[in-house]
Amino acid sequence: MKKSKSNYINRELSWLEFNQRVLDLSADESVPLLERLKFLAISAANLDEFMMVRVGGLQLVEASGDTKKDIAGMTATQQLTSIRGRIREMYDFQARQLKELQPMLAKNGIRRLREDELSETQLDFLRRQFTNEISAALAPLAVENSYGFPLLSGARLCVCVRLRSKPEEIISPKVKKKEAQPDTDTDTDTDEKSDESSEDGERFALVPVGRSLDRIWAVPGDTVFDYMYVEEVVAMFLSQVFGGQEVLEAVPFRVTRNGDVSIDEDSRSDLMIDMQEMLQARRTSHAVRLEICDTASKEVKTFLCDALEIDEADVYPINGPLALSDLFAVSGMKGFNHLKDSPWPPQPVPELSRKSEMFEKIALSDRVLIHPYQSYEPVIDFLRQAADDPQVIAIKQTLYRTSKDSEIALALEHAAKNGKHVTCIVELKARFDEARNIQWAQRLEHAGVDVIYGIRGLKTHAKVCIVVRKEVSGIRRYVHFGTGNYNESTAKLYSDVSLFTCDEQLGIDAIHFFNAITGLSVPQSLGKLAAAPINLRESVLEMIAIEIESAKKEGSGEIIVKLNSLVDKQLIDELYRASQEGVVVKLNVRGICCLLPGRKELSENIRVVSIVDRLLEHARVFYFRHGGDDRLFISSADWMGRNLDRRVELMVPIQADEQKARLINMLHAYFEDNTNSSELQPDGTYQLNEPKKKKKRFRSQEFLYQQAHQIYQAHTNPKTTVFQPIRGSDS
């Protein structure tokens, strides 16, 4: 990454540096071998989404002629130029890493085979597989010229085949035309073009690789697991597909289409229909990237560029296999445990289990859980118990991203069938989860759930579930707030925070917030919650201002923030101002960070670290010293314009001293990490934090898992003590 001359970093280049930190773990020799392969696959999957959304959007801006500059002073054209160069470097890095990993994997029984390495037995096996199974899933498409090019859906792997008729099959175009037409006919331009392109008998065909086919094709062999990429198997037997044709070239390629397709929510009243049309539009949007094997001839590249109407600048020749995200199938294979991380099974939370009286426990005190170190089951059990509890009269729930077989959604369905009044906000506009959310919305409606599709013009990103219970003392509201999606699959991989509470004011606020969404109105005043786009931005600015005043008057002020992304210029400028007034600012920003720390007379008191480890850091936690009266919040919102102004988000206070102290210590642990932590430098580059002389290795995620284990042990054995990390001021 080039050193920044601005006081801000471009968000796209900052994101690419985050992806590089993910990719760097594939080169870390201390990481188990299959985990290194997994990080390689993650970096490729990340890059796919970046190309679809961010690059696709920038290309539309550039095409419109808009020369508006971003926070770092770059136009769309300048950003695209820098992005393309950085991505090419990343592709080279990925290719080198895969070549480095393959021999080590082979030594451990996981071997990628090439055609010239196949034994006769393996060749016969693949021939039978192709004839009996693979060929049935192929649909070869002849293409006379670029004008007849079929629409290829984005990210689908294809093989471009250059063919030539065998000598005995070639018919002179002139003879053919003479036989087909009277002498009096005049040749058209189209005829001349067709004749010219076919004089040597060459033509092109496309072979899209069927989505039903496994990308990683297992081959019986001498090692534990031999495999080939399916497109290479297809290329081996193309003569069976194109009988009578000479296969001159078979080139794997992949098209990425723009995924930044929006809908006009003001033009139609049926959002469901709008979303279905948007999904179709995404399949036919313009091509933003062409990935192609770097051995492709000039003829093939020219043909594909013309047909796809894609510039040479957006063509990425790949030295090796394409679509490395498919390597998840290898890294996640059963067995080979010695090549994987040692397991960190989520620790049970006995007091919040299905077997316990969960509502009674929550009524006694607030409960904070840190996932996935602590099990996500209590969140599911919260809804399961509510669905069956005769005292529960209503459930209100938001859903942004759900799992395929969502236990959360099934519990809501069960509750509705049990006669509970269930209302669910299903966000249909959750990018790349739209189709799944549409299916769940329709299924829940069928079960009797009142389903709301969100708010026009906004995405509902808040994570909240409210259970209304009729008790002897009256109506009581039990609430779960979270920083992560109600998705039990990603809850095993994402680090998030849950709060269970029966606080009266928070329950009232949650109801007002929810009713405002379902009633399409402005919520009544919120006593403890802050919500975007209403007052969340203002609440954060107010907290920063209090720290600035405290630093001015008392010489002390401290802000510690954990985020996924920090982009919003207003908040960045306020953090700069806080630094200049002497406030100590510590930022744990996993991904995009447009702020530059450590700059003289600007951000000398700001420190930024990024943790990239085996779990995806996803929680948003905000701490303000507040004159010694610590204030701590969890939130669904990153500090980005879209979260603060164009999404429905929540910021929730943590009030119980014990729970507050635990999260504050968690925040400090991230700044002690000297194993998987990188620190943002004043010039915009990142530097890996390593153990200093005589200082022990400290890994924050490992510590948090050990702490969760000790909390569980303390519950089962009261004599067990839970250790705490060193406070940041002591490090």
Q: Which residues are catalytic?
A: 461
Q: Encoding tokens for residue 613? A: 């480890």
How far apart (Å, rounded) are the C-alpha atoms in residues 427 and 79?
31
Buried b (16+ CB within 10 A) or exposed e, 388-427: ebeebebbbbbbbbbbeebbbbbbbbbbbeeebebbbbbb
Is 509 in contact with 394 (CB distance < 8 Å)?
A: no
Which residues are within 8 A (CB) of 160 and not within 5 positions of it... i.e. 6 or more apart?
204, 205, 206, 249, 250, 251, 252, 253, 296, 300, 303, 304
How far apart (Å, rounded) are the C-alpha atoms in residues 349 and 354?
10
Is 332 in contact with 55 (CB distance < 8 Å)?
A: no
Buried b (16+ CB within 10 A) or exposed e, 33-68: bbbbbbbbbbbbbbbbebbbbbbbbbbbbbeeeeee
Instruction: Report the candidate in 569, 611, 568 with the shortest Cα–Cα distance to residue 586.
Output: 611
Strand 584-589 relative to strand 464-471: parallel, antiparallel, unpaired? unpaired
Q: Encoding tokens for residue 398? A: 């938001």
- Quote the DSSP letter at residue 420: -
CB neighbour class for 723 (10 Å; exposed up to 12, middle 13-18, buried from 19): exposed
Is 6 in contact with 72 (CB distance < 8 Å)?
A: yes
Q: What are the two backbone dihedrals, phi and then psi, of residue 546, each rounded to the nearest 5 degrees?
A: -65, -40
CA 7 to chain centre: 28
